[in-house]
Structure 1
Amino acid sequence: MLENFSFRAIVEYLPLFGQGLFTTVWLSLLSFAGALAVGIVLVAMNLQPARLFRLPAKAFIDAVRATPLLAQLYFLYFGLPRLGFILPELVVGILALSLNSGAYIAEIIRAGMLSIHRGQVEAGIASGMTFIQRMRFVILPQAFKVTIPPLLGQAIVLVKDSALLSLISVAELTRAGQLLASDRFMPAEGFMTIAAFYLLLYYGLKGLAALSAYWLRLAPTGGRT
C-alpha cells in the first residue's frame, strides 16, 4: 500500500513544514490571546444591567456561534477592503480566529463566573468594591481557575481552525502540505504529514489540559461566604 509513498519528498519539504508549524503555533497563540481579550469584554458587557451593553454582546455571540468560521473569514478578507480597510492576510486571519473563539470563550467564562457563590459577590459589594474591582479581585481569578480545562479545549479547536487560513494564502502548516501536494502531485504525502503535525499539537495541548485538571484537583478550594 505504501510502495508509492515517497518519504523522500516529505524529508525534502520538512523545512517548509517546520516553518508552517512555527507560523501555526505563534498565530494560534496571538489569536488565543486576542480571543481571551474579546471574551472578557463580551462577558463584562453581557453582565451589565443596561441593555445598551448587554444586547449588542448577546447579538454578537449569537451571530458568531450561528455562522461558520469560513464565512466569517471570507467576510473579513473580502468585505473589509470594500469598506476601505485593507489588512495583511495574517492580520485578517488572527482577527477572524480571535473574534470567533472570543464568542465561545465568553460563554465559557460566563459559565465559570456564574459558578461563583453569590455570597462572595455580595461580600465585595458590602466592602465597597466597584464592579471593576469585584471582577478583578473576586470573580475573574476564581472563574479562570474553574475554566482552565474548557479554555484549553477551545485552544485545541482554535489550532485546528487555523488550517482555514491556508485558504487566504497564509503560509501556515496546512499551506505547506498544499504546496507539496501541488508541486509534486503528492496529496497523500502532503496531507498525511499535515495530519501528523496536527496530531502532535493536539496531544501537546491535551497534555496541558490534563496537567491543569490535575492541578485543579490538588489546589485548595476557597471557602464560600
Structure 2
Amino acid sequence: MLGNLNIRVIADYFPALWQGFLNTLMLSGLGFAGAMILGIIACALTIQPLRWLRAPAIAYVDCIRATPLLAQLYFLYFGLPRLGILLPEIVIGIIALALNSGAYVAEIIRSGILAIPRGQFEASMSSGFTYLQRMRFIILPQAIRPTISPLIGQAIVLVKDSSLLSLISVVELARVGQQIALDRFMPVEGLAATAAGFLIIYYLLKALAGFWSRFDRVPGRS
C-alpha cells in the first residue's frame, strides 16, 4: 500500500502541512506552558496542610486523570457557550490541553518533592521561610530538576493529544491530513504526512530528553 504512496499530492499540500506543523508546535507549546503553571499550583496545593485548599486541588487532579481528554474537550467546547463564555476554538483547545496535562504534571512534580529529604523542609522552616518562600526558593528548584525527563515525556503525550483538536475544527497537523483525505480521496497520503510530522516532533523531544540525561550526569554537577 505504501509503495503506491502519491508523493506529488503530499508535495502539493506541503504549504498547508507546514502551517499545520507550526500550529501543532504552537498549540503544544502554549498548552504545555499552561500545564506547567497549573501543575505547579495544583502540586503546591495538594501538599500544603490546609484541607480547604488541598481538597479542590486533589479533586482537580483526580477528575482530570479519571476522564478522557476527548470528553474534557467536548465539555469545554459545548459547555462554555451555554454559560455565556464564547471563546475561539483554538483557545478552547489550548485550555483543554493545559487542564489535561496539568494534572499529570502536578503528580510528576509531587513525586519529585516527595523524594527531597525531610531535612530540607525542616531546615527551611527553622530559617523562618513562609510556605510560599519554601516552595519557591528551596523545594521546587530541587524537585523540578530530577523530573525534567518525565516532564519531557508528558510533553510528547501532549503533542500527540493535540491531534484531537482537529475534532473542533482547529487547523493543526491532523486537520490538514484529514483535509487531504477529503479533497483528494487519498487517506493514506493524508495519514502518512500527518504521521511524519508527529514523528519529527517526537524525535526532537526525544533528543532533548537524551541531551538532558547526558547533561545531568556530567561529573561535578550537584
* Normalised-by-shorter TM-score class: over 0.9
Shift of 1:4: 3.9
1:22 aligned counterpart, secondary structure: helix
Match in the other structure for 1:117: 117
Aligned equivalents of 2:10, 2:71: Cα separation in 1: 32
Shift of 1:220: 4.3
Match in the other structure for 2:196: 196
Instruction: Answer yes or no: is 1:19 the counterpart of 2:7.
Output: no
Aligned equivalents of 1:215, 1:174: Cα separation in 2: 34
Aligned equivalents of 1:120, 1:45: Cα separation in 2: 19
Q: What whole-Å deviation, never above 9, does each CA across 1:161-202 have from its counterpart, x for those lacking one? A: 000000000000000100000000000000011111111110
Match in the other structure for 1:168: 168
Aligned equivalents of 2:98, 2:111: Cα separation in 1: 19
Aligned equivalents of 2:68, 2:219: Cα separation in 1: 38
Cα distance change of structure 1 residues 133 and 114 upon mapping to structure 2, 3 Å threshold: same
Match in the other structure for 2:82: 82
Shift of 1:221: 5.7
Aligned equivalents of 1:16, 1:193: Cα separation in 2: 11
Aligned equivalents of 2:71, 2:112: Cα separation in 1: 29
Shift of 1:50: 1.2
Match in the other structure for 2:133: 133
Match in the other structure for 1:142: 142
Aligned equivalents of 2:138, 2:20: Cα separation in 1: 41
Cα distance change of structure 1 residues 181 and 118 upon mapping to structure 2, 3 Å threshold: same
Which runs of 5 or more residues in structure 1 are unaligned? none
Kindly report the root-mean-square deviation, in angstroms, between the aligned alpha carbons of the 2 structures.
1.1
Aligned equivalents of 1:204, 1:2: Cα separation in 2: 25
1:175-214 map, 5 Å = 175-214=175-214
Aligned equivalents of 2:112, 2:220: Cα separation in 1: 17
* Divergent runs of 4+, >2 A: 1-5, 219-222
Cα distance change of structure 1 residues 49 and 2 upon mapping to structure 2, 3 Å threshold: closer
**TM-score by structure 1 length?**
0.96
**TM-score by structure 2 length?**
0.97
Shift of 1:213: 1.1
1:218 aligned counterpart, secondary structure: coil
Aligned equivalents of 1:27, 1:70: Cα separation in 2: 16
1:128 aligned counterpart, secondary structure: coil
Aligned equivalents of 2:2, 2:103: Cα separation in 1: 43
Aligned equivalents of 1:211, 1:150: Cα separation in 2: 14
Q: What whole-Å deviation, never above 9, does each CA across 1:137-178 have from its counterpart, x for those lacking one? A: 111111110110000000000000000000000000000100
Aligned equivalents of 1:196, 1:219: Cα separation in 2: 37
